[in-house]
Amino acid sequence: LLMNIELANKKVQFIDSPMTGSKLAADAGQIIFMVGATESNSEIIKPILQSCGKKIIYTGQVGMGQKMKIVLNMIQAGLLQI
């Protein structure tokens, strides 16, 4: 979030877009992106992400993509404990 603030002060727009999937999924274009950005920036980046992955989930403002990725990792780690 600090990076977003610093970049905004320089008139640069920031998007966070972590992804999930294995190397095999990446090779097959099956990556899932979790995008944190303004809605307009999310739409701007969408064609690029669509060329690399199968699904784009808009999660809200900058930082929410990273939060969603952390939640997903925690759920997956919990499932591995079962």
Q: What is the pLDDT of residues 59-81, one digit of tens each?
A: 999 999 999 999 999 998 998 88
pLDDT confidence of 58, banded at 50, 70, 90? very high
Q: Which residues are catalytic?
A: 69
Buried b or exposed e, range 12-38, using 16+ CB within 10 angstroms = eebbbbbbbbeeeeeeeeebbbbbbbe
pLDDT confidence of 21, banded at 50, 70, 90? confident
- Contact between 17 and 65 (Cβ < 8 Å): yes
